[in-house]
Amino acid sequence: MPKLDRYLFGEFAQSTFAALVVLLVVSLGGVFTDVLTDITRGRVPAGMMFAQLGLVLLNWLPIILPLALMIGLMLAMGRLYRDSEMPVMASIGVGPRRMLRPLMLLVLPVVAVVALSSLWLGPWAERMSKQMISEANRNLLLAGLEPGRFTSLSNGGVVFVGSMSGDGSEFGRIFVYRQNGERLDVVTSNRGALQVGDDGRRYLQLQDGFEVEGPLNGGLDYRLMRYARNEVELPTGDTRFDPNDPELMPTPALLGDPRPEANAQLHNRIAPPLLALAFALMAIPLARSTPRQARYGRVLMGFLAYLVATNLLQLGTNWLEDGKVPPALGLWWLVLPLMAVALWLYFSDGRLRRVAPRRVGAA
């Protein structure tokens, strides 16, 4: 590899890696907030927090990687223009076509990773996340209930389980404390099991126990009941795992699915690698600046362009699901024009215009 290609590739790679690290840290904060919100609402068990964080981040890679690539390339090119290195390279004949080889050494592997994440890794992570939550809703062990320990529920109640079967579906010597307005409810049972209804709601099916109900703030209005069977509803978990959901289906399974939702999801997975390639090519001409010109304004302009494209991508996916866009058109109305504009900007960057000769009139 020529020394100039190694130098440019190193500059592009360092800036892209720095932008990726910053975007991952920012995204991790948002993902962490969403997962904590689901945990507090009882949708996700607390013990699965780190697993859910990793899976959600994998699902966000097709969005983060193209943006990191574009910002990294624009920052690297902006530094070259600021330090007057690009004018020197241009003076020896290094133009956009000459820079294409070191650029593609970075862009093509990143686009391949985006395609892998969008077509396989992201759907696998989403499917695994939903499946783990669905299994946790059917298993007391995965839901966070451990024998011999008090466990707080998201609705303010407390559960204590004395013993539990190995698969977490049956238990013995259970204590449940709940609050309902100004009333408290204490339920005890010798044995029971976990039941999941068709609507996804979870119930503790208790047998041979007692229930005490009374005022929360003091008083004598208490009731003691003995029951042979009782059902106590647990906080509602996340939606059920549906393997036929297009968002959870593998990409090869979407090819033969006639549903509009499956076609929309297929185009939504094909578009990110093409958008990553388009914005990578577009970053080089957008970063052109004078040595004294601020480079972050160009980066902001590129970020706004990427934001508009991703919003149009999501909007086009919704149009495909609703049948407002023909299935054959898909998202090509967004991807192909954007790719054409990126190619035109890249290969016309730095090209000098011909100046028409002026005719000098006779004196």
Q: What is the mean pLDDT of residues 209-215?
A: 86
What does the pLDDT read at residue 20? 92
The residue written with tokens 């004598």 in the block is 220
- Nearest-CA neighbor of 209 among 192, 193, 190, 224? 190
- Give dist(CA 145, CA 138) in Å, integer: 12
What average pLDDT does the chain have? 81
Q: What is the mean pLDDT of residues 325-338?
A: 90
Residue 107 pLDDT grade (very low, low, confident, very high; cuts 50, 70, 90): very high
Residues 24-28: contacts with CB under 8 Å, at least 24 apart: 24/57, 24/64, 27/57, 27/60, 27/64, 28/53, 28/57
- Give dist(CA 158, CA 75) in Å, integer: 53
Does some domain include residue 171?
yes
Residue 43 pLDDT grade (very low, low, confident, very high; cuts 50, 70, 90): low
Does some domain include residue 360?
no
- Nearest-CA neighbor of 121 among 38, 71, 64? 64
Helices (H), the chain: 3-40, 49-82, 85-91, 96-116, 122-137, 251-255, 260-286, 296-322, 332-348
Do 252 and 125 reside in the same domain of the chain?
A: yes
Residue 71 in contact with residue 79, Cβ under 8 Å? no
Domain boundary among 206, 233, 260: 233
Does some domain include residue 361?
no
Does some domain include residue 204?
yes
Do 106 and 186 reside in the same domain of the chain?
A: no
Do 38 and 185 reside in the same domain of the chain?
A: no
Query: How many other C-beta atoms are found inside a 10 Å radius of the C-beta of residue 8?
Result: 24
Residue 89 pLDDT grade (very low, low, confident, very high; cuts 50, 70, 90): confident
Do 267 and 163 reside in the same domain of the chain?
A: no
| Residue 199 pLDDT > 90 | no
Does some domain include residue 358?
no
List the single range of 23-37, 191-205, 305-319 with lowest mean pLDDT: 191-205
The total number of structural domains in the chain stands at 2
Residue 6 pLDDT grade (very low, low, confident, very high; cuts 50, 70, 90): confident
Do 209 and 62 reside in the same domain of the chain?
A: no
- Give dist(CA 279, CA 305) in Å, integer: 9
What does the pLDDT read at residue 57? 87
Residue burial 236-252, b: 16+ Cβ < 10 Å; e: rest: bbbeebeeebbbbbebe
Residue 355 pLDDT grade (very low, low, confident, very high; cuts 50, 70, 90): very low
- Give dist(CA 289, CA 127) in Å, integer: 45
| Residue 115 pLDDT > 90 | yes
Domain boundary among 233, 265, 297: 233
Residue 269 in contact with residue 317, Cβ under 8 Å? no
Please tell me what DSSP assigns to residue 199.
T
Does some domain include residue 121?
yes
Do 91 and 217 reside in the same domain of the chain?
A: no
| Residue 29 pLDDT > 80 | yes
Residue type, 62: P
Do 9 and 121 reside in the same domain of the chain?
A: yes
Do 218 and 129 reside in the same domain of the chain?
A: no
Does some domain include residue 355?
no
Domain boundary among 184, 215, 233: 233
Residue 352 pLDDT grade (very low, low, confident, very high; cuts 50, 70, 90): very low
Helices (H), 199-331: 251-255, 260-286, 296-322
Q: In three state form, how does the secondary structure of 24-68 look?
A: HHHHHHHHHHHHHHHHHCCCCCHHHHHHHHHHHHHHHHHHHHHHH
Do 262 and 121 reside in the same domain of the chain?
A: yes
Taking the alpha carbons at both ends of the chain, their separation in whole angstroms is: 59
Does some domain include residue 359?
no
- Give dist(CA 47, CA 56) in Å, integer: 16
Do 61 and 106 reside in the same domain of the chain?
A: yes
Q: Which domain holds residue 301?
A: 3-136+242-348
Does 233 or 158 have the greater pLDDT score? 158
What does the pLDDT read at residue 240? 58
**Per-residue pLDDT tens for 248-298?**
888 888 888 888 888 889 999 999 999 999 999 998 888 887 666 666 777
Do 274 and 129 reside in the same domain of the chain?
A: yes
| Residue 245 pLDDT > 70 | yes
Do 318 and 250 reside in the same domain of the chain?
A: yes
